[in-house]
A and B are shown apart, each in its own frame.
Chain A
Amino acid sequence: MRLEYFLLIDRIVELNLDDHTIRTDATVPTSSTIFEGHFPGHPLMPGVLLIETMNQASGWLLIAMHKFTRMPFFASVKQAKLRTFVTPGQKLAASAKLVHDGSGFAVTKAEIKCEGKPVCSAELTFRLVEFPNPSFRASMENIAAEVAFPMEVLAHG
């Protein structure tokens, strides 16, 4: 994770377009300016960033499903549950499953586990729109390479 750059997924572990699922890894950094404020003397991964981690796992799934022709933008979160504290250095497993692929939007269910134990879960809705410009898409392709996005899935189906 690079919290200050909002890059919360480290690596895509598995992307299954038949099951519409994704599994990712994300390790919370041991230090960050965010922990200086959240909280002094008691550093915790902010819950909003855990939700964003689930967003990004879902986002890579949706980008793959739409073969890099649509960019998912977070629209709403429902039934978010933050079950336990997450501290610096912990290794997280963020996964997501497609619930519905609508016209111009999609819904996923996502969760994060730490050492096999549930950390948080939510139902997430995204607007799916064309990439605003080529440079934005190129930057996403660069990030995709960093997180081991399996480009071969773009030839799937």
Chain B
Amino acid sequence: MSSTFDTVANIISETCDIERTKITPQSHAIDDLGIDSLDFLDVAFAIDKAFGIKLPLEQWTQEVNDGKATTEQYFVLGNLCARIDELIAAKGVAPA
């Protein structure tokens, strides 16, 4: 978990030019860090590459739009990292 978070936080810091110290597991990528949808594409690209996964952004967006999930479930970084760990486990790949 911690290494996943460190990798994600570093990606966000570098991609979105946000101070690393401001990024915590409790940070909401959109509401707290102000990452917009275009920047999040870059973040998703970097996460996909780093972990060898494909974040299911379309599915997540649909679930939020349909009221079946909240943005907190996917975009609070601790929760995002938990989803990433699940995807890694499902694919049986190790972080790069």
Within the assembled complex, what's the spacing in Å between the Cα atoms of A33 and B44?
A: 41
* A102 and B59 contact, CB distance less than 8 A: no
Among residues of A, the one whose C-beta sits closest to the C-beta of B60 is A103
Do residues B61 and A104 form an inter-chain contact, with CB atoms below 8 A?
Answer: yes
Stretch at the interface among B5-13, B26-34, B49-57, B63-71: B49-57
Q: Majority SS of interface residues in chain B?
A: helix
Q: A103-B55, A103-B56, A103-B58 are in contact. Are A127 and B41 (CB under 8 A)?
A: yes
List 7 interface pairs A-B (beta carbons < 8 Å), by A numbering.
A75-B38, A102-B45, A102-B54, A103-B44, A103-B59, A105-B41, A125-B45
When distances are taken between beta carbons in the complex, the residues of chain A under 8 Å from B86 are none
**Number of residues in B with C-beta < 8 Å to the partner?**
14
A101-B55 Cα distance, complex, nearest whole Å: 11
Q: Is the interface of A mostly helix, strand, loop or mixed?
A: strand
Count chain A residues whose beta carbon lies closer than 8 angstroms to a beta carbon of B.
11
8 closest cross-chain pairs (CB), A and B: A103-B57, A104-B58, A103-B58, A105-B41, A104-B57, A103-B56, A103-B54, A102-B48
- In the bound complex, residues from chain B placing their C-beta under 8 Å from that of A105 are 41, 44-45, 57
**Chain B contacts for A125, CB-based, 8 A:** 41-42, 45
Question: Residue A81 at the B interface, CB < 8 A?
Answer: no
Q: Which of A108-155 contact B (CB under 8 A)?
A: 125, 127
Contact indicator B44/A102 (Cβ below 8 Å):
yes
